[in-house]
Structure formats: C-alpha cells, structure tokens
Amino acid sequence: MIPTPKVDWLALSPTLALLGASGVALLAAVLVPEWMRKAVAAGTALAGFVLAALLAGVVFDRSPDSQALLSESMTRDRLAALAQVILALVGAAVVLLSWEERRRGSHAEYYALLAAAGAGMVFFVGAGNLMTLFLGLEWFSLSLYVLVAIDTERADSLEAGLKYVIVGGFGSAVLLFGSALVYGATGALGFAQIAAAGAEGDALLLAGLAMILAGLAFKVSAAPFHMWTPDVYQGAPTSLTAFMSAATKTAAMVVTLRVLVTAFPADSDLWTVALGVLAAASLAWGNLGALAQRDVKRLLAYSSISHAGFLLIAVAAASERGGEALLYYLVPYSAMSVGAFAVVAARERELTRPVTLDSLAGLGWERPFYGVALWVFMLGMAGFPLTGGLFGKLFAFSAAYDAGDAWLVLVGVAATLVSLAYYLNVVRWLYMRPGPELRAAPVAGGAPPRDPALAVAVGAALAVTVGSFVLAQPLLDLASAAAASLPF
C-alpha cells in the first residue's frame, strides 16, 4: 500500500468552491445560449464567492490552533481563514460591480477567470512551504494576466496586460530564485523547517530572503517595485482594478507576514529594517505621485502604493499587535478601495470615457448617493473619524511605536498630511462647481444607465467603511484571534 496524506476537505473547501464556480462559468461559455450566458456565469461566480466566504467562516470557527496539512505544504489556521473571508467578500462585491460592465463577448470567460483568481488567492494565503507559495502565486497571477487584457478591442487594456505579464513574470522569477537559495542554505521548503534549520546569518539564506521579499513586494505594489501599478490599474477594466487593488494586496500582505514570522524569525532584525525602508519609500512615492495625477484611476493607483506603506508598517512591527493591526486595516481598506473604483466605474459607464478629476465635477449633486460614497471613501483613506481608516492607521502606528520604530510613525503621519491634498481635492471636485456650469452639464446618452448591482456593491462598501469604525472592537478581536496563529 502506498501511503497517502490525509486530506482536510473542510480546509480546502473555500478553494474548491471557487474552483467549482470557475468550471461551471467556463462551461456556460460553450453550453449556455448567448443571451443568458452572462447572467449564468455572473450568478455562478457570485454564488462561488459567497459560498467560499461562508466556508472560510466555518474554518475560522473550527480552527483554534494552527495545523499543518498535506505533508506540511498547507496550513489550516484562523489567519488563513480570516484572509479567505476578506478575499471572498471582495470577490463577491466585484462580481456585482462588473454585472453591467460593457464588453464585447467573453463575459463567461471573465467571470470564470475571476473565480479562478479568487481560488488561487484563497489557496495562496494558506501556503505552508515555498513550493505551494509559488504555486498559489502563479495560479492567481496567470488568471489576472489574462483578465487585464481581456478587453481586446481596447489598446490600453492590451498594453496594460503586456506590462503586467513582463513585470509580474520578473517578480515571480525573483521570488522563485530566492526560494531556491533558501532551499540551498537550509535544505528545507517548509516555513517551520526553514526556521528550525538554524541557518540564520548565512549569506545564501539572506540573499534568498532578500529576493523573496522583493518578489512579494512586486505583488503588494510597494516602492520601488511599484512601477507596473499606475499603468496596469489605468488600462485594466475598472472592475478588475478594484479586485486587484483589494484582493491581491490582501493576499500578498498576509503571506508576507506569515513567511517572515514563521520561516525567518531569527533574522527579524534585518527584515524589519528592510520592510521599514520599503514602507517609507512607498509612503513617499505613492503620495507624491498621487499629487500630480488627473486621471482618477491613476490617482487611486498611487493611493494604493501609499497604503501598501501603511500596511507594511504593521508587518514591520513583527509582533502580534502588528498582525492584529494588519488584519484589521485590510477590512476597511478593501472596502474603501472597491467602493472608490465602483464609483469611478459608474461615472465611466455614464460618460463612456476615462474618468478624470474634471469628469467628477458636480457628481455629488448629480448622483448624491455616489457622491456621498466617494466622499466617505476618500475621507476614510485619509484616516478621518467615523471611518475604519482612522483606526487602521492608529493601530499600525501603535504597533510600530511599541516595536521601537517611532521614525516610521513620524513618516506615516507626514504621509497622511500630504495625502489630504489629493483626497480632499477629489471631494472638492465632487461638490465645488459653479451653479450655471452644473446646470448646463449634459448627461451622455440621456438618462444615466441603471445599475442596481453596482449600487449594492457601493452600499456594502460604504457600510463596511463606516461599520469598521463603529464595530472596531469586534473586528479587532477577530484579527487578534487570527494573529495568534503565528509564532510571534
């Protein structure tokens, strides 16, 4: 008898739910009549994401301790489960956001790839060794490469797809080479086994660690590995940009925390400094770059780079408090990011052209719900009260201060002050417009297109943004239970 590993089907159920949804949506592309193909594929993808979120919640409830699965290639713990809940809910919101998106065919393929990307991310956050980490990374990256360029009639989409493939492939190669160096230094692939190998300080191990950090930094859009972000965010379909800004960053940040704390605890004095430098660079470059933008998607792309800096501050703390801050911050950040891009998508569909700051002029008066929503999202990203963004930054700063990184707190506060210039500028464009000019503004194609699914997505994002402030303590308790899974 050949021994086979025991399979924990409950731990794998969120991934399997999304894989099943992806397969059914892909079958709809060839088996379902064209007139109902989009509805079937979108409904299937939405059901897959909702089911994955529910199953991940069950895993969170039934996983008090960290457990190694499949010959220690996967990990079942509350950290992975909470990240999977966030990823699945982001995916569900993006399906609603993209429901009325105009596209020449490929609707079923779009939703199939979206569910496949979500499955890859859900698999990725539970990686237990370097091999499954790379497998999960490539799984969702390949899906995203195709999705970015799926609007083949748009030159911008094709250009963004090509840039993403080249830069993303390079980042994956760097991570893979770093993994090979770590294996050469320790003879181990598992995170716990790498830590137990006792090779701290070895030059080969440190070179591998640096390359793994660089590869993950490409995925989280941290400066100076951010060069692909503005162009890809601008050229990709807006619904996909929302998914990438929230889900990709969530998955990559959680895995970065897991890898560093679990596999390289003895070298924490080095990687915490490296992460601090990356955080400071991201905060500086992201905020200064955003100041010069007129295209709203590019502005939000640079905002995403700056938020990578705030999230890295929490990771650099290398403490349970830092883990709590990271997991809490990811909840309002994901909601604000998806919600902001959803409002951009609504304006984009109404005007049938890219959205600039000028295009937002008067939106707050013409579309009060979307205006208020974008106003709240901008204030939340700036860290204003009554939004979860305030506590997200405070918890990250608190973790950094406790870890002795007061300089990072000062950099973060300075970056927040700079960010007010462009976040409040968006709010200014929403409402501060001369009355006669507003009355004379034509609506492209007559009445604005009705999009109830997008409105639901914006409403849900708005509720989470404000709710994460009102219910900060329960969310922090969940984040604390998840962070306790790591060996700080």
Q: What is the DSSP string of 211-238?
A: HHHHHHHHHHT-TTS-TTHHHHHHHS-H
* Domain-embedded: residue 333: yes
Mean pLDDT within 264-288: 94
- Cα distances from 416 to residues 135, 309, 329, 397, 411, in angstroms, run 36, 11, 15, 12, 9
Alpha-carbon distance 68 to 183, whole Å?
Answer: 19
Alpha-carbon distance 60 to 125, whole Å?
Answer: 13
Mean pLDDT within 279-284: 96
Mean pLDDT within 245-259: 96
- Cα distances from 116 to residues 15, 103, 109, 239, in angstroms, run 9, 20, 10, 16
Q: What was the pLDDT predicted at 438? A: 44
- Cα distances from 92 to residues 121, 453, 481, in angstroms, run 14, 11, 24
pLDDT over 50 (residue 440): no
Residue with tokens 């500028």: 425
* Domain-embedded: residue 56: yes
pLDDT over 70 (residue 218): yes
Q: What was the pLDDT predicted at 335? A: 97
Q: What was the pLDDT predicted at 207? A: 94
Is 356 strand, coil or helix?
Answer: strand
b/e burial code for range 260-292 (CB count within 10 A of at least 16 → b): bbbbbbebbebbbebbbebbbbbbbbbbebbee
Position 135 confidence tier, pLDDT thresholds 50, 70, 90:
very high
* Domain-embedded: residue 305: yes
Per cent of the chain over pLDDT 90 is 78
Position 437 confidence tier, pLDDT thresholds 50, 70, 90:
very low
pLDDT over 90 (residue 6): no
Mean pLDDT within 131-145: 95
* Domain-embedded: residue 166: yes
* Domain-embedded: residue 4: no
Is 293 strand, coil or helix?
Answer: coil
DSSP string, 147-216: HHT--TT-HHHHHHHHHHHHHHHHHHHHHHHHHHHHHHHHS--BHHHHHHT--TT-HHHHHHHHHHHHHH
Spatial contact of 217 and 61, defined as CB atoms under 8 Å apart: no
Task: Give the count of domains, the chain.
Answer: 1
DSSP string, 425-487: HHHHHHH---HHHHHHPPPTTSSPPP-HHHHHHHHHHHHHHHHHHHTHHHHHHHHHHHHTTS-
Alpha-carbon distance 225 to 203, whole Å?
Answer: 23
Q: What was the pLDDT predicted at 433? A: 64
Alpha-carbon distance 440 to 280, whole Å?
Answer: 45
Q: Kindly report, residue by residue over 12-37, the tens digit of the pLDDT.
A: 999 999 999 999 999 988 888 888 88
Q: What are phi and psi of 129, to 5 degrees?
A: -145, 175
Q: What are phi and psi of 288, to 5 degrees?
A: -70, -40
Position 366 confidence tier, pLDDT thresholds 50, 70, 90:
confident
Neighbours of 391 (CB within 10 A): 23
* Domain-embedded: residue 1: no
Position 198 confidence tier, pLDDT thresholds 50, 70, 90:
confident
- Measured in residues, the chain has a length of 488
Mean pLDDT score across all residues of the chain: 91
Alpha-carbon distance 302 to 335, whole Å?
Answer: 17
pTM of the model: 0.94
Please classify residue 439 by burial: count the beta carbons closer than 10 Å to its beta carbon, then call 0-12 exposed, 13-18 middle and 19+ buried: exposed
Q: Which of 51-65, 91-105, 223-237, 456-470 has the lowest mean pLDDT?
A: 91-105
pLDDT over 70 (residue 435): no
Residue type, 282: S
Greater model confidence, 444 or 259: 259
Q: What was the pLDDT predicted at 30? A: 86
Please give the biggest Cα pair distance in the chain. 83
CA 478 to chain centre: 19
Structure letter (DSSP) for residue 3: -
Q: What was the pLDDT predicted at 446? A: 46
Element (H, E) at 74: strand 74-76
Alpha-carbon distance 127 to 108, whole Å?
Answer: 29
Structure letter (DSSP) for residue 127: B
Q: Kindly report, residue by residue over 457-471, the tens digit of the pLDDT.
A: 999 999 999 999 999
Q: In whole angstroms, how large is the CA radius of gyration of the chain?
A: 22
Residue with tokens 């008090």: 64
How wide is the angle at C-alpha 22 spanned by C-alphas 36 and 145, nearest 5°?
A: 105
Give me the domain span that covers residue 305.
Answer: 9-442+450-483
* Domain-embedded: residue 191: yes
* Domain-embedded: residue 394: yes
Mean pLDDT within 270-291: 95
pLDDT over 90 (residue 451): no
Q: Kindly report, residue by residue over 48-71, the tens digit of the pLDDT.
A: 999 999 999 999 999 888 788 877
